[in-house]
């Protein structure tokens, strides 16, 4: 019940966002098998930045509630970068962009905004207005993480993420 309320609130927030993020960048969909291979080659299931180890959690959904269009709303995503030892994440580490992969297609999206009230050991960012893939299919999610101190980008992935249906 609380999950559905949470998703409903997120959907309402996303409905107020357009397909641009605060920097004016747009999400796009690319179909390119070699790009998908490249993303997988440079990503891993966990990353180490300094002395901290991080994993990615990803939640994807499409809304089919009565207020939605008959074919549902576009894909939305919440990505969480989690410090596995639950210590605070440095302000110099940030989630930059996500790549949602379905076969040879990739939804590339900058994050629309950061979730408020997130514990200090986690960064949680949201993207919306994605493709109308699914629901009830499995995709892979890769996030670009930046170490602002060094300017280094890392790529972290979560495989086999189910696109949920809310209604």
pLDDT in tens, 67-85: 989 899 999 999 999 999 9
Name the β-bridge partners of 155. 43, 144
Task: Tell me what percent of the residues of the chain surpass a pLDDT of 90.
Answer: 78
pLDDT for the residue numbered 5: 43
Inter-CA distances, 83 with 40, 51, 54, 108, 143, Å: 21, 10, 5, 24, 15
pLDDT of residue 62: 97
13 compared with 40, residue with greater pLDDT: 40
Range of the domain at 73: 2-166
- Asked whether residue 56 carries a pLDDT value surpassing 90, the answer given is yes
* The pLDDT value given to residue 1: 46
Mean pLDDT for 139-144 is: 98
pTM of this structure? 0.85
The verdict on whether omega for the bond into residue 135 sits within 30 degrees of 0, i.e. cis, is: yes
From the list 45, 70, 59, 34, the residue with the least C-alpha distance to 115 is 59
Given a contact cutoff of 8 angstroms between Cβ atoms, the answer to whether 46 and 24 are in contact is: no
Whole-number pLDDT of residue 17: 40
Count of structural domains, the chain: 1
**151: which residues sit within 8 A by CB, 6+ positions away?**
none
What mean pLDDT is reported for the chain?
88
The pLDDT of residue 141 is 98
Rounded to an integer, what distance in angstroms lies between the CA atom of residue 155 and that of residue 105?
A: 18
Q: Looking at residue 25, what is its pLDDT?
A: 63
DSSP 149: T
Cα distance between residue 4 and residue 67, in whole Å: 15
d(CA 134, CA 123): 26
Give the pLDDT score at 87: 94
pLDDT at 27: 87
CATH number for the domain harbouring residue 148 = 2.60.40.10
Q: What sign does the CA torsion over 14, 137, 3, 141 have? A: negative
């Amino acid at each position: 019940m609380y999950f559905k309320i949470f998703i409903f609130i997120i959907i309402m927030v996303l409905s107020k966002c357009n397909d641009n993020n605060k920097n004016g960048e747009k999400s796009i969909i690319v179909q390119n098998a070699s790009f998908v291979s490249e993303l997988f080659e440079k990503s891993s299931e966990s990353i180490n930045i300094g002395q901290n180890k991080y994993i990615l959690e990803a939640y994807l959904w499409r809304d089919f509630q009565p207020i939605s269009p008959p074919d549902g709303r576009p894909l939305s995503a919440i990505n969480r970068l989690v410090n596995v030892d639950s210590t605070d994440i440095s302000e110099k580490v940030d989630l930059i962009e996500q790549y949602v992969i379905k076969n040879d297609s990739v939804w590339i999206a900058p994050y629309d905004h950061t979730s408020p009230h997130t514990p200090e050991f986690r960064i949680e960012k949201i993207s919306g207005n994605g493709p109308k893939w699914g629901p009830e299919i499995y995709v892979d999610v890769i996030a670009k993480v930046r170490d602002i101190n060094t300017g280094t980008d890392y790529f972290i992935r979560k495989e086999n993420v189910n696109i949920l249906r809310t209604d």
